Each structure stands twice: as C-alpha cells, then as structure tokens.
C-alpha cells in the first residue's frame, strides 16, 4: 500500500516541455508526478505559444523566470543553475520527442517521454546509447500499467495460474474521431498527419498501450509473425489509419488479436484485455480498473477486487485507496512516476542492483513499442499480409 511516504527522499527538481493549458495529457503528468510530493515542478516550456506557456506556468506556481519560451531556452538556462531541474517530462506531439529527448540527455537531464517514443527503432537505439553514456534514465509514460490489478495478472501468469498461454485478446476502441476532421482540434490535426504523428495514427496513439500492457503481463511471450490490416474511414486521415486489426502468432504457439480504432461510434474508450491459458483466463478493463475477472473452466467466475488481502503481494504493494474505495487513472500515473523517480534516484547513486530488479517503463519498453509499430506498418503496407517479426 502506497501512503505517500517518499521512498525517494528529497523531491526531484522537475520541469516539463509541452503539456500546456490546452494540451490533453499534461495534467496527467502533473497529477502523477506531484501526487506524493515526489517531484517538484520548478521549470517549463509548456506551450508553443510562449506567452500562454508563461502565463500557464505562473498559474501552476512556477517562478516567472523559469517559464521558458522554448525547450532550448529551458535547457540552456536550467543547465547553468545549481538548482536546475534534474528531470524533464516531454508531453509534446510525437515528432518532437526525439529531438527534445536527445537535447535533454545531452545536457545531462533525465527524461520522462510520452509514447509512441520516437518514429523509428533506429532512433530508439541511438537514444539508448546516449542515455547509457550519460548515465541517465528515460522513462516512458505508458499510463495504464500502474494499475494494481495489471500486476495481479502478471503475478498470476508468472505463478502458472493460467497454465500455458493460448489466446490474447486486446482492444482499445473509442469513437471520438467518428466524425470527420473539419473542426479538428490541434491534438487531432497533428495525430492525423504523418509528419507530426509518425507512420501511424491509432496504432501508435492507443495500440502501443495495449501492446505494452500485454508485455507487462506476459514478459516471456515473443511475437513470431504478425498481420496488420489498417484503414482510414475518413479520407483526410490517409495514409494513416483510424482502424486497425493485428493478428499475432507467438512462438509458444499462442495466438493474439488486437483491435484499435477511434471511429467506434458511441464508445468512450474502453480497453479490454483478455489472457486465456490452458487452465484459466483473466480479463481486465481500464474502465473498471478495480476489478479483475479470473475464470477457471468449470468453476464459478471469480471477481477479484483491488486492495483485498487475497491478492498477490505485487498488486497489493501498488494500492493507494484501499479496497473500500475506488482508484482511477490518476492513481496509475502516480505509480508510474514513482517508479521513474525511484529509477532516477538509483541511477544517481549508481545502484545497479536496485535497477536490475526494478519494474519501470524505460527506454526498452519505449523501443519495443516502436518496433511493434514498424512491424505493423510493414505488414499493412504489404497488403495486410503476414510478416516475420523483426
């Protein structure tokens, strides 16, 4: 149970690039990082519109002179300060993740970056090398994997409670782009343009969450081949997709199905994860993150509830509200930011033993997401045919 005691000591001096007043994801970063006083927000280049960014920063309690017009200014100035930020979160559109992350690392600043991490695996490999040279952490905000019951599923799989894994069914299908984009917000505009979004729309935007969570639950499973069928129902989004289905063959013989779309009219974004083994299945949705269905063939379905003593220790350790009360996405983000803080503190004290055993979505998690996207695109571009996973 997490109660706000700072296992990381002194709050990390923290800054943000992006995530400004109108940004969609910025508040999730702030609420996650500041939840337990683990991070203290001291600097930011919050917005493309420098004036708005400055005004916003002020309202967040950031000192006037540390509200910067650009990330370059932020880096230049903060690197000079004795009390400069130790870590910066990047919550900008996809295309700038790579350049901003690189610049931060070069300046010796730890990074928390949004997903999809970069456009190519090659970029990921390069940044991983840079981070290693500099001795810095790159955390990636796969925001749903901080939910305690995700780790309950992982622990159950690890203990063999599901038997051999056979079927994996993944779904993140909302309807917020069911209409055309004539009145699209900035957030939709950049997502539907390959220059700013990268080689995918919904696959990268929401599919990477599904894929990463499945990796957390099933770390041993490797994809052998994959087929991706994608399509845009709104012409202006082409060549990017607003719907995709991915079929996966894993090397233990398991089969996977994944569905992402943003034209699922009327749906507010339900994710669904079902993992079927030879003995039992588990099913979980972020829409009701406090419950997990555990189904042994021939026995009554069991509904596991967060925070209850019968859960695995790995899950209970992540609980914040206790069984009587409801957790939300903010609680999950708080866990992710806590893990990243722990990784940074360990890195700072060169504690490789801690880091080796520490769960935290980092550069490798980011890289695997980009690799999966590359494979999906390769299949989709080959008329939705099967491709070997590389």
Ligand X SMILES: NC(=O)c1ccc[n+]([C@@H]2O[C@H](COP(=O)([O-])OP(=O)(O)OC[C@H]3O[C@@H](n4cnc5c(N)ncnc54)[C@H](O)[C@@H]3O)[C@@H](O)[C@H]2O)c1
Nearer to ligand X, 20 or 148 (CB): 20
The residue within the footprint of ligand X, chosen from 6, 27, 31, 48 (CB under 6 A), is 48
In angstroms, give the least distance from the CB of 187 to a second copy: 11
Residue 332: how many CB atoms within 10 A of its CB?
A: 24
Q: Helix H segments across 144-207?
A: 148-158, 186-191, 194-197, 202
Output the six-digit token pair for 182.
């004539």
Question: Which H or E run contains 12?
Answer: strand 12-18
The residue within the footprint of ligand X, chosen from 93, 139, 207, 362 (CB under 6 A), is 93
Which string of x and - marks every residue 257-276 that binds a second copy (by CB under 8 A)?
x-x-x-xxxxxxx------x
Output the six-digit token pair for 205.
């935007």
Residue 70 engages a second copy in binding (rule: CB under 8 A) = no
Residue 24 engages ligand X in binding (rule: CB under 6 A) = yes
Cα–Cα distance measured from residue 27 to residue 176, given in angstroms and rounded to the nearest whole number: 20
390's contact among ligand X, a second copy, none, with CB below 5 to 8 A by partner kind, is none
In angstroms, give the least distance from the CB of 351 to a second copy: 19
**C-alpha angle with apex 116: 129 to 377, nearest 5 degrees?**
100
Cα–Cα distance measured from residue 214 to residue 145, given in angstroms and rounded to the nearest whole number: 10
Nearer to a second copy, 276 or 360 (CB): 276
Give, as ranges, the residues between 371 and 390 that touch a second copy (CB under 8 A).
383-386
Which string of x and - marks every residue 147-186 that binds a second copy (by CB under 8 A)?
---------------xx--xx-x----xxx-xx-------
In angstroms, give the least distance from the CB of 328 to a second copy: 3
Omega before 320 cis (within 30°)? no
Residue 229 engages a second copy in binding (rule: CB under 8 A) = yes
Cα–Cα distance measured from residue 105 to residue 324, given in angstroms and rounded to the nearest whole number: 43
Residue 60 engages ligand X in binding (rule: CB under 6 A) = no
Q: Please report the sign of the dihedral spanned by the C-alpha atoms of residue 173, residue 198, residue 192, residue 384.
A: negative
User: How does strand 138-140 pair with strand 110-113?
Assistant: parallel
User: What are the φ/ψ torsions at residue 157 (nearest 5 degrees)?
Assistant: -60, -45
Residue 14 engages ligand X in binding (rule: CB under 6 A) = no
Nearer to ligand X, 49 or 295 (CB): 49
Question: Cβ(272)–Cβ(213) under 8 Å?
Answer: no
Give, as ranges, the residues between 178 and 207 that touch ligand X (CB under 6 A).
186-187, 190, 205
In angstroms, give the least distance from the CB of 382 to ligand X: 26
User: What are the φ/ψ torsions at residue 117 (nearest 5 degrees)?
Assistant: -55, -65
207's contact among a second copy, ligand X, none, with CB below 5 to 8 A by partner kind, is none
Q: Which stretch binds ligand X (CB under 6 A): 19-27, 244-252, 311-319, 359-367?
A: 19-27
Nearest to 262 by CA among 232, 295, 227: 232
Give, as ranges, the residues between 113 and 142 that touch a second copy (CB under 8 A).
none
78's contact among a second copy, ligand X, none, with CB below 5 to 8 A by partner kind, is none
The residue within the footprint of ligand X, chosen from 35, 54, 66, 115 (CB under 6 A), is 115
Residue 18 engages ligand X in binding (rule: CB under 6 A) = yes
Nearest to 359 by CA among 128, 124, 145, 109: 145
Cα–Cα distance measured from residue 359 to residue 336, given in angstroms and rounded to the nearest whole number: 9
Nearer to a second copy, 41 or 74 (CB): 41
In angstroms, give the least distance from the CB of 330 to a second copy: 6
């Amino acid at each position: 149970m997490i109660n706000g005691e700072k296992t990381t000591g002194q709050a990390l001096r923290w800054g943000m690039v992006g995530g400004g007043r109108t940004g969609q994801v910025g508040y999730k970063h702030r609420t996650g990082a500041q939840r337990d006083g683990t991070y203290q927000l001291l600097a930011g280049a919050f917005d493309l519109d420098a004036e708005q960014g400055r005004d916003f920063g002020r309202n967040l309690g950031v000192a006037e002179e540390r509200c910067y017009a650009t990330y370059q200014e932020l880096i230049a100035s903060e690197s000079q300060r004795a009390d400069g930020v130790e870590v910066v979160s990047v919550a900008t559109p996809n295309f700038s993740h790579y350049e901003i992350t690189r610049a931060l690392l070069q300046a010796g600043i730890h990074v928390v970056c949004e997903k999809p991490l970069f456009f190519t695996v090659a970029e990921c490999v390069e940044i991983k090398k840079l981070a290693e040279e500099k001795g810095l952490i790159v955390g990636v905000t796969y925001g749903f994997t901080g939910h305690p019951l995700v780790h309950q599923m992982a622990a159950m799989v690890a203990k063999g409670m599901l038997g051999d894994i056979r079927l994996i069914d993944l779904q993140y299908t909302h309807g917020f782009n069911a209409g055309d984009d004539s009145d699209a917000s900035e957030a939709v505009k950049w997502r539907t343009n390959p220059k700013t979004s990268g080689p995918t729309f919904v696959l990268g935007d929401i599919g990477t969450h599904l894929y990463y969570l499945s990796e957390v639950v099933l770390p041993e499973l490797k994809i052998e081949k994959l087929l991706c069928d994608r399509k845009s129902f709104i012409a202006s989004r082409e060549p990017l997709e607003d719907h995709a289905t991915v079929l996966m063959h894993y090397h233990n013989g398991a089969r996977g199905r994944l569905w992402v779309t943003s034209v699922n009219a009327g749906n507010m974004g339900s994710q669904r994860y079902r993992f079927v083994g030879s003995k039992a299945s588990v099913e979980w949705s972020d829409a009701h993150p406090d419950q997990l269905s555990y189904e042994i063939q021939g026995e009554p379905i069991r509904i596991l509830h967060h925070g209850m003593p019968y859960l695995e220790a790995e899950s209970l350790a992540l609980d914040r509200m206790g069984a009587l009360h409801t957790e939300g996405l903010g609680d999950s983000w708080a866990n992710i930011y806590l893990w990243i803080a722990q990784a940074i503190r360990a890195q700072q004290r060169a504690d490789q033993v801690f880091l080796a055993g520490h769960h935290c979505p980092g550069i490798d998690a980011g890289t695997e997401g980009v690799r999966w996207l590359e494979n999906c695109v390769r299949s989709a571009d080959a008329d939705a045919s099967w491709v070997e996973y590389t």
